[in-house]
């Protein structure tokens, strides 16, 4: 008996064993496939959450100090900020601009904070050419009837 015949006999034995209990083997295949699917999904989801958390928290401060009065944010004086800056290990102290906005149509009070540097409108919309108090439409844009532009 040569090497090929031995291999053929092993394959025949394996296939006959699988086909003898084909329902049991099919059920095991389905269960193992399901388990691998669930484990892979959990791993991928966890990695996605970690990645998104890193992207969201990239520009966030390490520590936020805020004052609460009656459950709402309140202002901290500059003197407190200077005291915080003198603590050993503190590299930078920045204030933030924030406010509460009550939306009457929806009902809730929405807290919001402003970025340190306001965005430049021209970066987002390059065709806008504005100066304080005046606005000029882009060339080729028609104005509504009766509208006039301020002299430039």
Query: Cβ(84)–Cβ(65) under 8 Å?
Result: yes
pLDDT at 82: 87
Query: For residue 92, which of 103, 101, 84, 100 has the smallest C-alpha distance?
Result: 84
Q: Beta strand 129-131 with 134-136: parallel, antiparallel or unpaired?
A: antiparallel
Host domain of residue 30: 3-56
The answer to the question of residue 126 being in a domain is no
Provide the residue count of the chain: 152
pLDDT at 28: 94
pLDDT at 48: 96
144 DSSP 8-state letter: P
The answer to the question of residue 110 being in a domain is yes
Residue 9 to residue 100: CA distance in whole angstroms: 79
The answer to the question of residue 117 being in a domain is yes
Look at the chain and report how many structural domains it folds into: 2
More confident position, 115 or 12: 12
Cα end-to-end span (Å), the chain: 100
Same domain flag for 91 and 117? yes
pLDDT at 150: 47
Same domain flag for 15 and 45? yes
pLDDT at 96: 74
């Amino acid at each position: 008996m040569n090497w090929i015949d031995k291999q053929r006999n092993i394959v025949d034995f394996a296939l006959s064993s699988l086909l003898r209990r084909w329902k049991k083997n099919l059920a095991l295949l389905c269960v193992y496939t399901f388990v691998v699917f669930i484990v892979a999904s959990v791993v991928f989801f966890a990695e996605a959450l970690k990645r998104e958390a890193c992207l969201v928290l990239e520009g966030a401060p390490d520590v936020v100090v805020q004052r609460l009065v009656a459950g709402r944010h309140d202002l901290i004086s500059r003197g407190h900020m200077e005291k915080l800056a003198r603590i050993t290990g503190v590299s930078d102290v920045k204030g933030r601009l924030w406010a509460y906005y009550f939306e009457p149509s929806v009902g809730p009070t929405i807290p919001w904070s402003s970025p340190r540097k306001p965005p430049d409108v021209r970066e987002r919309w390059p065709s806008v050419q504005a100066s304080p108090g005046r606005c000029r439409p882009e060339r080729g844009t028609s104005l509504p009837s009766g509208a006039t532009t301020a002299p430039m």
